[in-house]
Amino acid sequence: MVTSIEKRYIEKHQKCQQNYSVSKDFFPNGVTHDSRNLEPFPYYVDKALGAYKWDIDGQKIIDYRGGHGALILGHCHPLVSQAVSNQLKIGTHYAASTDLEIRWANWVKKLIPCFEKIRFTSSGTEATLMAFRMVRAYSGKTKIIKFSDHFHGWHDYVRSHTAGTGGIPKEVMDTMITLPQNDIGIVEETLNNSDDIAAIIIEPTGAHMGADPVDPNFLQQLRDITNRYGVILIFDEVVTGFRISKGGAQSYYGITPDICTLAKILGGGLPAGAVTGKSEIIDMVQLSDEPDYNRVERVGHNGTFNANPLSAAAGCAALELVANSPVNEIANQRSQQLKNGLNYVLSKLEISGCASGVSSAVFLRLGVEHECDNEVCILPFDDQKKVGDPFLSHQMWLEMYNQGIDAGTRFIVNSVLSESDINKTIEASEKALINIRKEGIL
């Protein structure tokens, strides 16, 4: 049955619906990224600036998708845009080393605690794949531990034991061990029972960008146990890098991994990724004087767009702004304003749940009565499933979009949102929740 929320969405977005009728013949589900799937049809955007974007039906939207987390500076930041424009005039690809890649690496070095050396890639998925190759080659071991529902890209290894595993060989899945987060006992038991574990990888704020939070104590326990067992600790900072703090989650929590993966903010809105950390691990890419080593032990790594000049120019501009201006502080202030407002709305409407999250990622968790500190909100397993109800999340996404907000139950906050934007978002959230309750969904 079509809800009134869906009917309003259809009425407001006739051009989007027309686009979908064409795009579904080109692309599976009519989209080019799984998270853009939206029933009854996705929306189509044709321009963006600062905190806003405009869809092809002319609706102005306050944007909390933030380029899937890449745009802490908002859309078309003038200094980033100028850096890219300047580079476009002198070349987009040299098939050669550049001064820009050195400058880019130096900004990462200034900000990320685990930095010793770095290798650039073109995406976060490539970065985690490269990290796995490096740690396996370095350790001589095969298996890697990851945690349930933690997202590390779409390559075969990280998609093992999740939804959407079509085409992944069993032999690949057998190299991955998936454990529940926040349970150091089962991690130690697993390490005790196998001497073939190369590394542990984790999203340091928790699954789904932190929607299912990690206990910060668990991070320290992982650091301690990996040191004790001689296992490499990987922080996947593709989302958290330069967002949770200027130095990422490792700086925020004071826990330094052996290596970390980076992307999103790293490229200033352009395609980019990287693996950084201990030299001896990153140097598994380095050529040797021994041909046999190069043939069977070294990690070979090509990549047409590794450290390409456009991404490097954008990345340098973005990281300089992160390093030298209050980007994180402003985003965090707006996030706190948003959390306070959303929690007030929930209380006012007598809806169980909370708005919580670390730094500039805010999650609206609906349907479970509980108390938390509105930062790290860890719920029992059954309650966590309730707050992740897909139908409720879907209707919230549609109704928020009807109200001019691209968010739903997850808000990726940027530094160019104004206090007025946050107030409008809170007002829209209240209207959306009232309308969802009228539908009997909440």
Domain harbouring 389, CATH code: 3.90.1150.10
Averaged pLDDT of the chain: 96
Q: Within 10 Å of residue 205's Cβ, how many Cβ atoms?
A: 28
The pLDDT tens digits for 6-37 are 999 999 999 999 999 999 999 999 999 999 99
Asked if 192 and 137 touch (Cβ cutoff 8 Å), the reply is no
- Indicate the pTM of the whole model: 0.96
List, in sequence order, every residue forming a beta bridge with 274; answer none if it has no partner: 120, 262
The total domain count for the chain is 2
Q: Are residues 224 and 242 in the same domain?
A: yes
pLDDT tier at 336, thresholds 50, 70, 90: very high
Q: Are residues 366 and 288 in the same domain?
A: no
Distance CA 395, CA 172 (A): 37
Q: Of 324, 351, 375, at which residue does a domain stop? A: 324
DSSP H or E run through 353:
strand 353-356
- For residue 1, the model assigns a pLDDT of 76
pLDDT tier at 382, thresholds 50, 70, 90: confident
The pLDDT tens digits for 354-371 are 999 999 999 999 988 888
DSSP H or E run through 225:
helix 216-229
Q: Of 324, 349, 377, at which residue does a domain stop? A: 324
CATH number at residue 270: 3.40.640.10
Q: Are residues 246 and 306 in the same domain?
A: yes
The Cα-based distances of 51 to 57, 73, 109, 205, 230 in angstroms read 18, 9, 29, 24, 45
Q: Which domain holds residue 234?
A: 78-324
Q: Are residues 182 and 315 in the same domain?
A: yes
Q: Are residues 71 and 173 in the same domain?
A: no
The pLDDT tens digits for 118-157 are 999 999 999 999 999 999 999 999 999 999 999 999 999 9
Q: Are residues 286 and 432 in the same domain?
A: no
Asked if 321 and 110 touch (Cβ cutoff 8 Å), the reply is no
Asked if 263 and 276 touch (Cβ cutoff 8 Å), the reply is no
- For residue 22, the model assigns a pLDDT of 97
- For residue 239, the model assigns a pLDDT of 97
Q: Are residues 92 and 223 in the same domain?
A: yes
Distance CA 310, CA 296 (A): 34
Distance CA 391, CA 408 (A): 11
Q: Are residues 209 and 331 in the same domain?
A: no
H-only helix segments in 13-162: 14-23, 66-69, 78-88, 99-111, 124-139, 156-159
Q: Of 295, 324, 353, at which residue does a domain stop? A: 324
Q: Are residues 434 and 373 in the same domain?
A: yes
Q: Are residues 224 and 368 in the same domain?
A: no
Q: Are residues 212 and 332 in the same domain?
A: no
Q: Are residues 300 and 405 in the same domain?
A: no
Half-sphere exposure of residue 438: CA atoms within 13 angstroms, side-chain side: 10
The pLDDT tens digits for 259-293 are 999 999 999 999 999 999 999 999 999 999 999 99
